[in-house]
């Protein structure tokens, strides 16, 4: 099977880590029967400054017409509002209908408590529809204000909950078939996160549509379903992270929860994500463009390497993905070659080489 992968480094350390994704794909053993081709594509703030478009049409077209998947690095958020600029990754998720943002968070010797959860974030709506308006009123009438729409649909909620249910079943299957009994979960659990005590219609719909989707017979018999209000979810995430298996959330809560979960495993530099649609996936490290370490060659490549594996999982190449995960785990367990975010002194290049060696 030949897979064509779009490579979109973006800004900052995105340019230092995305090449690692390409290299690990090229280094996969030929016994897997996989070949990779690559398309170099552009997006990001620098692209915006050069071309006037943060997400050039060509990038979207090549992804849509020629690619099977992609890797996306990171984009810089300008420190001041810039006219005409808006985040290309948010636009890309919507244009390609990558309706799920899947963020596994797992410890390998980096945290006090063992953690093994996946945050399944709805990726197309909520406040991310970006329908905003500003109303100028004289001060005597209360002054200026702005409004944004939070939109939650039954269809998107039901679709993301179904994805969460399927991921929970798949994780349990892997646990059941794995020889090691090291798993911290004995039973699959999906936790629905919302704030329906305040937003009874929007988050209320997310809640009821999720519950309805997860009461389908194949889920209902196999999964435990729970709910958490988002503020209390953040509290629990930090007090009892070991208790959570799959968390499903609307877009913005999912964004916040996944950064919180990343903090628990020690570094954003470890946490991958995949933006997943029908038959297409974009791997994307959860970290940003990290201007503070840009150009120093010390960015942790693991979030990108794990995102590469995650992309492969959603392209149904689970064996290839497993090989990459195992090489990364071996590097972390050994603990000799770690980047500074993990307390080590290794460079990006040294970590990549170590992981390629362990592949």
Ligand X SMILES: CC(C)[C@H](C(=O)O)[C@@H](O)C(=O)O
The answer to the question of residue 97 lying near ligand X (CB under 6 A) is: no
**Which one among 51, 197, 200, 224 touches ligand X, defined by CB under 6 A?**
197
Among ligand X, a second copy, none, partner that 91 touches (CB below 5 to 8 angstroms by kind): none
Which of 90, 167, 209, 233 touches ligand X (CB under 6 A)? 90
86-94, 161-169, 237-245, 295-303 -> range binding ligand X (CB under 6 A)? 86-94
Contacting residue, 198, 212, 220, 326, with ligand X by CB under 6 A:
198
Q: Which stretch binds ligand X (CB under 6 A): 61-69, 82-90, 203-211, 299-307?
A: 82-90
Q: How far apart are CA 120 and CA 261, in angstroms?
A: 12
Q: How far is the CB of 260 from a second copy (least distance, A)?
A: 5
Instruction: Characterize 244-256 residue by residue with b for buried, 16 or more Cβ atoms within 10 angstroms of its Cβ, and e for exposed.
Output: bbbbbbbbebbbb
Region class of 295: left (phi > 0), else alpha (psi between -120 and 50), else beta: left
Between 262 and 311, CB nearer to a second copy: 262
**DSSP conformation letters of 18-51:** HHHHHHHHHTS-GGG--EEEEEE---SHHHHHHH
Should residue 131 be labelled a site residue for ligand X when binding is judged by CB under 6 A? no
With respect to a second copy, which residue has the nearer C-beta, 172 or 193?
193
Name the site residues for a second copy (rule: CB under 8 A): 77, 81, 86-87, 90, 127-128, 130, 132-134, 142-155, 195-202, 204-205, 208, 229-232, 234-239, 252, 255-256, 258-260, 262-264, 268, 288
- Closest CB to a second copy among residues 2, 81: 81
Give the binding-site size for ligand X (rule: CB under 6 A). Answer: 7
Which of a second copy, ligand X, none does residue 234 bind to, with CB < 5 to 8 Å depending on kind? Answer: a second copy
Between the alpha carbon of residue 336 and those of residues 347, 352, 356, the distances in Å are 12, 13, 15
- Between CA 2 and CA 185 the distance in angstroms is 36
Q: Which is nearer to ligand X, 172 or 300 (CB)?
A: 300
Q: Which of residues 234-263 bind ligand X (CB under 6 A)?
A: 255
Token pair, residue 260, equals: 């919180």
Distance CA 179, CA 334 (A): 21
3-state SS assignment for residue 250 = coil
Cα 98–Cα 102–Cα 107 angle in degrees, nearest 5: 160
How distant is the alpha carbon of residue 28 from its chain centre? 23
Residue 90 vs 190, nearer CB to ligand X: 90
**Exactly one of 87, 191, 267, 304 binds ligand X (CB under 6 A); which one?**
87
> Shortest Cβ distance from residue 198 to ligand X (Å)?
5
Q: Which stretch binds ligand X (CB under 6 A): 26-34, 87-95, 260-268, 319-327?
A: 87-95
74 phi and psi, to 5 degrees?
-160, 155
Q: Pick the closer one to ligand X by CB: 257 or 355.
A: 257
CA 359 to chain CA mean position, Å: 23
| Residues 162, 156: Cα–Cα separation, whole Å | 10
């Amino acid at each position: 099977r030949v897979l064509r992968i779009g490579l979109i480094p973006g800004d900052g350390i995105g340019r230092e880590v995305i090449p690692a994704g390409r290299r690990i794909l090229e280094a996969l053993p030929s016994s897997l029967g996989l070949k990779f081709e690559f398309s170099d594509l552009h997006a990001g703030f620098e692209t915006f400054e050069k071309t006037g478009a943060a997400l050039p049409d060509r990038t979207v077209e090549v992804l849509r017409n020629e690619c099977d998947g992609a890797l996306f690095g990171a984009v810089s958020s300008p420190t001041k509002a810039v006219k005409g600029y808006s985040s290309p990754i948010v636009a890309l998720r919507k244009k390609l209908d990558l309706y799920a943002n899947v963020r596994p968070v797992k410890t390998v010797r980096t945290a006090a408590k063992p953690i093994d959860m996946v945050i399944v974030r709805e990726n197309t709506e909520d406040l991310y529809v970006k329908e905003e308006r500003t109303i100028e009123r004289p001060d005597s009438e209360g002054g200026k204000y702005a409004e944004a729409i939070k939109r939650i649909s039954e269809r998107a909620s039901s679709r993301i909950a179904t994805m969460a249910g399927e991921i929970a079943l798949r994780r349990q299957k892997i646990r059941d078939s794995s020889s090691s009994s090291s798993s911290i979960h004995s039973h699959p659990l999906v936790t629905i996160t919302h704030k329906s005590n305040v937003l009874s219609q929007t988050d209320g719909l997310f809640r009821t549509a999720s519950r309805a989707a997860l009461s389908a017979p194949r889920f209902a018999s196999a999964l435990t379903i729970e709910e958490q209000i988002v503020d209390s979810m953040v509290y629990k995430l930090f007090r009892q992270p070991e208790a959570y298996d799959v968390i499903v959330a609307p877009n913005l809560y999912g964004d916040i929860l996944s950064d919180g979960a990343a903090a628990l495993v020690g570094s954003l530099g470890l946490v991958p994500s995949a933006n997943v649609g029908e038959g297409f996936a974009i791997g994307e490290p959860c970290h940003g463009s990290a201007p503070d370490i840009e150009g120093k060659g010390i960015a942790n490549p693991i979030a990108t390497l794990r995102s590469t594996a995650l992309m492969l999982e959603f392209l149904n190449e689970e064996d290839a993905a497993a090989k990459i995960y195992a090489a990364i785990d071996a590097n972390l367990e050994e603990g000799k070659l770690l980047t500074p975010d993990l307390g080590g002194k290794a460079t990006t290049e040294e970590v990549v080489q170590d992981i390629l060696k362990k592949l």
